Amino acid sequence: MPLRFFSKLQSIKQIQMESEILTSEIKTSAPDFSKIRENFPTLHQTVKGRQLVYLDSAATTHKPVQVIEKIDHYYRLQNSNIHRGVHYLSQLATEEYENARIKVKNFINASSEKEIVFVKGTTEGVNLVASSYGNRFINEGDEIIITHMEHHSNIVPWQLLCERKGAVLRVIPINDRGELIMEEYKKLLNEKTKMVAVVHASNTLGTENPVKEIIEEAHKYNVPVLIDGAQAVQHFEVDVRALDADFYTFSGHKLYGPTGIGVLYGKKELLEKMPPYQGGGDMISYVSFERTTYNELPYKFEAGTPHIAGGIGLGYAIDYVKGVGLQAIKQHEAALLDYANKKLLGIPGLTPIGTAEKKSSVFSFVLENIHPHDIGTILDVEGVAVRTGHLCTQPLMRRFDVPAVARASFGMYNNTDDIDALAEAILKVFKVFG
Amino acid sequence: MNSELNELYQQVILDHNKNPRNFRKIEEPTHHSEGLNPLCGDHLHIYLIIENERVADIAFQGNGCAISKSSASIMTEVLKGKPVKEAEEKFKEFHDLITGHITDEDQIEAMGKLAVFKGISEFPVRVKCASLAWHTMNAAVHQKDTVSTE
């Protein structure tokens, strides 16, 4: 083994040992976020000769070594296909995978693990509902309500459904701060409404929507509600039963877990009456050429070999997040957002996009006469990673009359030094553009 | 300041970004196309009047980053009055420059105004920005209505 590789392994091992000590400390006292940062190996590198400043966690979070190690462990020692295997490894892998489902169930407080469907990510979660529920229960002239701040993944699947069925898409407008206008929502609801699909926290604006109230209003018309929780579950506690959400979907990779795995929660009575989404292995109980009977929940919706390592990794990511504590994460990130507001809002020529009263740790902005793409490149040269562009929310860009935005987003591992670096880099942008 | 950044955002580029040349609509173009870079939201129109296989007039309008805007502006300056065939040759040469396939200093210098874009090759994600106007011009010449760099 080359020496360099060996020493790298050693150092990861060391970080892991330290982090195990840390995790046990976390459970008994308030977490020390400077130590938590040590758990994320990707953050500890230089980019173009500068220490990496990662402010793109809304796109994807980095993974703690505790999660990386478990995925590595699975592939080294447990790799096998799950369900129906009689041999040792298959049983071991099945147990790990199903255990992850229970962790997810507890994480969002679902009633049963039968309500937890593993999917590729939030996008597939929405598509599953739009295809399966939509094809069966939404018809010509029916109405689907979304909001002006949806990610494309919670717009396009519904548009496709509308095209297939001749249904109509309705959009809840937002105010200039980027908050839903709830009176308008109430006006949109009517007997023709058959689905409401709303983002819990906006990836572009950071706005946290009053989803409990949205669900209550929809239920007055017996309309099911799907919540896109891609930008929620990593920032604050979500209890699907307290919300009375009918569907709730999120991605693993924004929750400090692997890419390619996500969750669709659905109320059992809804999932039961929905037809399968895809056909294949695992989703059946009996197949003949004349007739097929489908497997029970949640397997009815899980055709084919799933992302086993991903599911397992997500389970451990949830363990990690719970170990730190979502209350503590929420406080830490709120303090960062406060600091960012103080530090950045004073910069002349900077305009924030999204100033909702209730806001998660996203800071989108534009600079006078400088295109966000140019901002992104200059920040990158300074070692600061932000996202620029329309952020998959083109209707929002038009609402705020900007071609694109630059977005800094925070995770549990960020600190005020990161924001100082961002502020300095923004001043550099102005310097380049004179 | 970082030398890569200096190469990328040269004064000429910043000047064309601030004061783009031929930034207007041609009311009755013989050729027109719309260019989109969905990734960053760059969006521009290229208008041409082609007479006797020559670019008699060329102009553009739209929104974009400094690189895409200045590239469009400089392109219109370079192509005005040139034979269409030469415009297509220049497109290829420009593309080779920004993707780092032309490294010979003399050859770069011979490209005149276009040489200011040599810094792009250090920023691969910006190649689309610099080439959008050229792709759009090429599509217009070949009578295609829209082009996307995605």
pLDDT tens for A274-287 read 999 999 888 888 99
Average per-residue pLDDT for chain A: 93
pLDDT of residue A329: 98
Residues A231 and A297 in one domain: yes
Same domain, A44 and A89: no
**Token reading at B124:** 């691969």
Q: Is residue A10 part of a domain?
A: no
Question: Sign of the C-alpha dihedral, residues A420, A426, A431, B2?
Answer: positive
Does residue A60 lie in a domain region? no
From chain A, the residues in CB contact with B40 under 8 A are 371-373, 388-390, 404
Q: The tokens of A125 are what?
A: 């979660």
Evaluate the CA torsion angle A255, A257, A258, A262 in order and state its sign. negative
DSSP 8-class letter at A130: I
Percent helix, strand, coil in chain B, to 5, is 50, 20, 25
- For residue B18, the chain A residues in CB contact (below 8 A) are 369
pLDDT, average across residues A422-429: 97
Its pTM stands at 0.90
Q: Whole-angstrom Cα distance, residue A51 to residue A382?
A: 9
Instruction: Looking at the structure, tell me whether residues A365 and A278 fall in a common domain.
Output: no
Edge-to-edge strands of the sheet including A168-172? A116-119, A262-266, A247-251, A225-228, A193-199, A143-147, A168-172
**Is the bond preceding residue B20 a cis peptide, omega within 30 degrees?**
no
A171, with CB counted inside 10 A (0-12, 13-18, 19+), is middle
**Is residue A192 over pLDDT 60?**
yes
pLDDT at A48: 79
What positions of A carry a catalytic annotation?
A: 392
When pLDDT is cut at 50, 70 and 90, the band that residue B7 belongs to is confident
At residue A18, the pLDDT reads 45
Picking from A265, A300, A322, the residue at the C-terminal end of a domain is A322
Give chain B's contact residues with A (Cβ, < 8 Å).
1-2, 4-5, 8-9, 14, 18, 38-43, 63-67, 69, 123, 125-126, 129
Does the residue A46 lie in any domain?
yes
CA A20 to chain centre: 26
Model pLDDT, residue A29: 66
Residues A25 and A112 occupy one common structural domain: no
Domain limits for position A346: 19-51+325-432
- CATH at A384: 3.90.1150.10
**How buried is residue A18: exposed, middle or buried, by Cβ count under 10 Å (0-12/13-18/19+)?**
middle
Q: How far apart are CA A340 and CA A362, in angstroms?
A: 10
For the cut 90, the answer to whether the pLDDT of residue A135 exceeds it is: yes
Distances (CA, A) of A101 to A5, A262, A395, B79: 35, 11, 35, 62
Residues of A with CB under 8 A from a CB of B: 369-374, 377-378, 381-382, 388-390, 394, 397, 403-404, 428, 431-434
- Of A274, A289, A322, the last residue of a domain is A322
Would you say residue A197 lies in a domain? Answer: yes
Closest CB to B63: pick one of A378, A394, A403: A403
Instruction: Tell whether A250 and A368 lie within a shared domain.
Output: no
Q: Does the beta-carbon distance from A381 to B67 stay under 8 Å?
A: no
Q: What is the CATH number of the domain that holds A140?
A: 3.40.640.10
Distance from C-alpha of B82 to C-alpha of A64, rounded to nearest angstrom: 58
Residue A228 sits in the same domain as residue A248:
yes
**pLDDT tens column, B30-48:** 999 999 987 777 899 999 9
Q: What is the pLDDT of residues A317-345, one digit of tens each?
A: 999 999 999 999 999 999 999 999 999 99
A30, A98: one domain? no
| C-alpha distance across the termini of chain A, in Å | 51
CB contact under 8 A, B67 and A434: no
**Residues in chain A, how many?**
434
Q: Which amino acid is at B123?
A: F
The pLDDT tens digits of the residues spanning A207-226 come to 999 999 999 999 999 999 99
Does residue A11 lie in a domain region? no
Number of domains making up chain A: 2
Domain limit, last residue, from A273, A301, A322: A322
pLDDT digit string, tens, across residues B76-108: 999 999 999 999 999 999 999 999 999 999 999
Write down the mean pLDDT value for chain B.
92
Measured between beta carbons, the chain B residues lying within 8 angstroms of A397 are 41
Assigned domain for A1 exists: no
pLDDT at residue A3 tops 50: no
Among A315, A309, A260, residue whose Cα is nearest residue A76: A309
If we measure between CA atoms, which residue out of A359, A332, A365, A361 comes closest to residue A347?
A: A365
- Asked if the structure places residue A7 within a domain, the reply is no
- My answer on whether A344 and A291 are in the same domain is no
pLDDT in tens, A394-416: 999 999 999 899 999 999 999 99
pLDDT of residue A84: 79
- The whole-number pLDDT of residue A15 equals 43
Question: From the list A377, A397, A434, which residue is nearest B41 (CB)?
Answer: A397
Residues A212 and A295 in one domain: yes
ipTM: 0.88
Can you give the pLDDT at residue A350? 98
Q: How many CB atoms lie within 10 A of CB A275?
A: 12
Whether residue A219 is found in the same domain as residue A200: yes
Same domain as A334, residue A307: no
Do A279 and A426 share a structural domain? no
Considering only the beta carbons, identify the residue of B2, B40, B67 that sits closest to A389.
Answer: B40
What confidence tier does A150 reach under pLDDT thresholds 50, 70, 90? Answer: very high
Tell me how close the Cα of A371 comes to any Cα of chain B, in angstroms.
Answer: 5
- Asked if residue A14 is part of any domain, the answer here is no
Q: Give residue B150's pLDDT.
A: 58
- The full set of domains in chain B, from first to last, is 3-141 (3.90.1010.10)
pLDDT higher than threshold 50 for residue A16: no
Q: What is the mean pLDDT of residues A412-430?
A: 97
The single residue listed with the structure tokens 């960020």 is A414
CA distances from A379 to A375, A432, B44 (A): 6, 11, 25
Q: Which residues pair with A263 in a beta bridge?
A: A118, A250
